[in-house]
Structure 1
Amino acid sequence: MPDASFFPRGDGLTVSDIVALTGAELGASTAPGIRLTGIGPLDRAGPEDLSFFDSPRYATQLPETRAGCVVVARKHVALVPKGLPHLVAANASVVFAAVGRRLFPAALVPAAVSAGVGVSPRAEVDPTAQIEEDVTIEAFAVVGRGVKIGRGTIVSHGAVIAAGCMIGRDCRIGAQVVVSNALLGNRVILHPGVKIGQDGFGYVPGRAGLDKVVQIGRVIIQDDVEIGANATIDRGAIRDTVIGEGTKIDNQVQIGHNVAVGRHSVIVAQVGISGSTTVGDGVMIGGQTGVNGHVTIGDGAQLAALSGVAGDVPKGARWGGIPARPVREWLREVRFLTDLAKKGRSPRNERDD
């Protein structure tokens, strides 16, 4: 079967190049001149690929791997078979990621679908829009009145940039993205299907039913933010919704109106954050977590997947469960309930009716 990768290999790196790049240590009997042009998992890597090993659960794959070299976590060096070329690092994943970025720079940001730079004749760009040089606007994209788009940005097929929005430099606006009521910084990546700046969910009971609350705020997305496919970020009601510098948001995340997310936080798939919540710097929120409105999650806090956050989370805390509470407390309760359930079992109550 031919190589089906969409990211072609280049000249590659030698093992000594990787040592210089990452600070990893040369393993015993490993030749520094080994040249690697790709990356892969232990069970699929070939002689020109770098792989990595940082979990004992994959120890059985080490003797069988065909990888040209393997980055190994220092604590697992004893598991490396004799003769397997390897590098030793405190954090194997960090080294592996750094090499991947160097070998495949084209995979770092989405590329334009069509060849060439400039505005497609099939795009609709308002004459009042201000477009800097080296901007690509692909077919069927729509750019509204007064929009400003910075140098090096790509606006993909079918994307809509509504009136008055500002897009910084070197951004990537994916296919079918809609941006309204928003200001984006530099190097922002919006993957296909992202929706930014629609009105938030706000209603009050009225005499005839539910009366809509107007949402007149904006969305502010700072530099180096990346937002995954089909995520949605509502504009503010009477203040702005803000996503801080360097924050990474996974696919299918919903962020409500007036939410403020700090810098360099990570929000994983299918998280829902209700309105007027404050998320600090360096926060990590696991997948499918739900966060109540008007709460504060402190800097550096970590929330386990499938958590339900009903109240404020202290700075640096590690919480999980529903309702979310300190991880040790949560796990202790789970163990207690499991043991209690086991004690209550009998042939009679275990029997199917």
Structure 2
Amino acid sequence: MAQPIFFKSPPSSTLAEIAALTKAHLVDPARGAHKIRGLASLDEAGPMHLAFFDNLKYADQLAATKAGACLVSPRFEAQVPKGTAVLRANKPFQVFVELAREWHADALRPRSWFDTEGIAPSAIIDPTARLEDGVIVDPLVVIGPRVEIGAGTIIGAGAVIGADVKIGRDCNVGAKTTIQFALIGNNVLIHTGCNIGQDGYGFIFFGPAGHVKVPQTGRVVIQNNVEVGAASTIDRGSLRDTVIGEGTKIDNQVQIGHNVTIGRHCLLAAQIGLAGSLTIGDNVALGAKVGINNHLKIGDGAQVTAMSAVKDDIPPNGRWGGHFAKPTKQWFREIIAVERLARDNETKGEGKE
């Protein structure tokens, strides 16, 4: 449930009002006057909370819930306890999220920690930088020469913005983030502790004089509506730019190497490592801790399961996984074959000391 210390309390609403707002069906209209004052999970909800159910893994929590009301699909409606009002919806979680976005808009993006407007006195801003009206700059920020920042953008405490960086409108740059050699679009969320635009990992390895550094003269280009999770790093390109496509959402602690191109509306879960000069298409989903080798192409709509190691190109709409990654059907067949072989060996007594 939302914590009032950190987030604003939602308005008190009747079930009838919630049903009208969300287009959910209140099964028992006689409960329409019941007041809801917040959202909560099934196991934490009380009589003044609205919860949702759409996963059988939580059937025990549904049976024991004390929630005042529950969003639920017609399939599971009969499992809701008698003391809990039923709001019927075909996609209960989606409706729950829509209501949460309405009630807790302040949780959708990072805010200034200081609830102030304008530029903090301790910020250091080069006189050649240009900030549009409505930019908020928190304490101890450093903004370099010729930087441009659009209206409505918030720069968090201790962030450092290097020379000539361009940041669009309605962006959020988290505290202790550093950005250099980068062009950033509108409505981009960069969470705390990110590093964007630093040198890529480029060397001529094992030469007579040791490892020779390759100049990294490209940029990082982040298009509109991208989100970058905390402590993620995006290296600038060597000859071409590193590009993050519109609408892509990147989780925490993701490393993106130089010259990588990521398409539109991709999903990258935590602790992914992308080697240099990799090209990823649109609408690609990569599970947590995926590693992808350099100079590969991942086609539009591809999906890679968590903890996979990718050494080959993946075709559009491919479903791959494993170490090394391969089509998931092939991977599953191989796993089954190995398990069967192990069982057969145990039956025969092989492998025993």
TM-score with structure 2 length normalisation? 0.93
Quick one: distance in 2 between partners of 1:39 and 1:97?
10
- Tell me by how many angstroms 1:82 deviates: 3.9
- 1:36 maps to what in 2? 36
Structure 1 unaligned blocks of 5 or more: none
Q: Is the 8 A contact 2:345 2:351 kept in 1?
A: no
- Tell me by how many angstroms 1:347 deviates: 9.9
- Tell me by how many angstroms 1:22 deviates: 3.7
Quick one: distance in 2 between partners of 1:327 and 1:29?
48
- 1:24 maps to what in 2? 24
Match of 1:183, SS state, is: strand
**Closer, same or farther: CA 35–141 of 1 in aligned 2, 3 Å:** same
Pick which of 173-182 and 59-68 moved more: 59-68
The yes-or-no answer on 1:150 pairing with 2:153 is no
Q: Is the 8 A contact 1:266 1:283 kept in 2?
A: yes
- Tell me by how many angstroms 1:272 deviates: 0.7
- 1:271 maps to what in 2? 272
Q: Which amino acid aligns with 2:245?
A: G
- Any idea what the Cα deviations from partners look like across 1:60-115, whole Å, max 9, x if unmatched? 11222111211223433343334531223332221121111111111011110113
- 1:49 maps to what in 2? 49
- 1:72 maps to what in 2? 72
The yes-or-no answer on 1:168 pairing with 2:175 is no
- 1:240 maps to what in 2? 241
Pick which of 66-75 and 268-277 moved more: 66-75
- 1:175-214 equivalences under 5 Å are 175-205=175-205, 206-214=207-215
- 1:7 maps to what in 2? 7
**Closer, same or farther: CA 88–166 of 1 in aligned 2, 3 Å:** same
- Any idea what the Cα deviations from partners look like across 1:10-51, whole Å, max 9, x if unmatched? 314443444444443333567334332321111101222221
Pick which of 56-65 and 133-142 moved more: 56-65
Match of 1:344, SS state, is: helix
- Tell me by how many angstroms 1:286 deviates: 0.5
- Any idea what the Cα deviations from partners look like across 1:302-342, whole Å, max 9, x if unmatched? 11111111111121222211121222221221122112112
Q: Which amino acid aligns with 1:152?
A: G
TM-score with structure 1 length normalisation? 0.93
**Closer, same or farther: CA 350–178 of 1 in aligned 2, 3 Å:** same
Match of 2:63, SS state, is: coil
- 2:97 maps to what in 1? 97
**Closer, same or farther: CA 318–78 of 1 in aligned 2, 3 Å:** farther
- Tell me by how many angstroms 1:349 deviates: 6.5
- 1:88 maps to what in 2? 88
Q: Is the 8 A contact 1:136 1:154 kept in 2?
A: yes
Quick one: distance in 1 between partners of 2:175 and 2:12?
31
Structure 2 unaligned blocks of 5 or more: none
- 1:317 maps to what in 2? 318
Quick one: distance in 1 between partners of 2:216 and 2:268?
24
Quick one: distance in 1 between partners of 2:271 and 2:106?
27
Q: Which amino acid aligns with 2:196?
A: I
Q: Is the 8 A contact 1:11 1:37 kept in 2?
A: yes
- Tell me by how many angstroms 1:348 deviates: 6.6
Quick one: distance in 2 between partners of 1:135 and 1:127?
15
Alignment RMSD: 2.0
Identical counterparts, % of pairs:
46
Quick one: distance in 1 between partners of 2:334 and 2:35?
52
